[in-house]
Amino acid sequence: MSAAPPPATGAWREGDPPGRRQWAAVAGPVPDTRVAYETWGTLNADRSNAVLVEHALTGDSHAAGPAGPGHPTPGWWDGVIGPGRAVDTDRWFVVCPNVLGGCQGTTGPASTAPDGKPWGSRFPAVGVRAQVDVEAALADALGIDTWAAVLGGSMGGMRALEWAVGRPERVAAVLLLACPAAASAEQIAWAAPQLHAIRADPLWRGGDYHEHAEGPHVGLGIARRIAHVTYRSEPELAARFGRKRQGDGQFAIESYLDHHAAKLAGRFDAASYLLLTEAMNGHDVGAGRGGVDAALARVTARAVVAGVDSDRLYPLAQQEELAAKIPTAQGLRVITSPSGHDGFLTETGQLAGLLKELL
């Protein structure tokens, strides 16, 4: 008996369990924009202990804590956030919002528009700067003038960098992990077939599939397979899978990619994936600011810049540029890992050292 297809979207929808989410209504690119966020710890009297944590492409506000109703997976940075951990919630008030255009509570393509229908294809393109504008509105709503630190890796690192460059007076310290000053031609090239796969799925329906029984999960799954190869390293894949086959004759590496594709289809939205990927493609911190060098010179926050030695998606040369051109950075920190780009999530011990250095 074949398994039932996944729903049209894995987005969080009204009526789903809220989990640990809270919401704030903010000014945004569409009416009734709101941000879903989670917090840990207690904001002190002078509001000086707030730390902003920025998630990556398929992450969400659930940075710490177990899986449960409303949260299909455990916290993606659970090993470093909590009492006595590197981001010690007995000391720091930690805030993690779901990004604008995402699909886990913050307004995005799967959200309901004022006419009662999903935004779908009507949701506007939003870049990294617009995403940070909404996060700044959330900070205002929480009464936080200055973040003690902004922490981010990959797409989250792009937003952390935008905070430090665009609002230097509001950021005291920043951790930039496995991210660039601007998306490269190769990164845009890796994204292109992912975007084509989603748009070519017959169930994409021009982006207006959310009210149908099925959505473009085949296209989303292909996109995830492509992306996941770039997240890991060739030596790791060779060591883990090699040319091994399973009992059905399928290569073990194919089964691994199939697993990750199916897993994402159950918890994410194809339109959000497309919109956020295009935001990453458009990332250029120097645009309209006189170029990258001039933009990075604006950073006044204490900066720790780190990359992963086996990262083939955002290679160390991009973090070397950040470390060399940000005046407050004290050289490049290197995470040693066989895991490729995903090392910024998996190498808990080394991450803890970087976080303790910053905080």
Is residue 82 within 8 A of residue 40, CB to CB? The reply is yes
CA distances in angstroms from 112 to 32, 81, 195, 355, listed in the order given: 9, 32, 23, 38
CA 232 vs CA 282, 313, 342: distances in Å:
23, 9, 6
Our measurement of the distance from residue 122's CA atom to the centroid of its chain's CA atoms, rounded to an integer in Å, reads: 23
Token digits for 125?
């393109």
Q: Would you tell me the crossing angle of helices 217-231 and 185-200 to the nearest 10 degrees?
A: 160
Tokens 């709101």 identify what position?
A: 34
Q: Residue type for 160, please?
A: A
Rounded to 5°, the CA angle 64-65-70 comes to: 105
Rounded Cα distance between 225 and 243, Å, is 18
Q: Which amino acid is at 346?
A: T
Active site residues: 154, 311, 341
Q: In the chain, what are the helix, strand and coil shares in percent, each to the nearest 5? A: 40, 15, 45
Residue position matching structure tokens 């049209």: 8
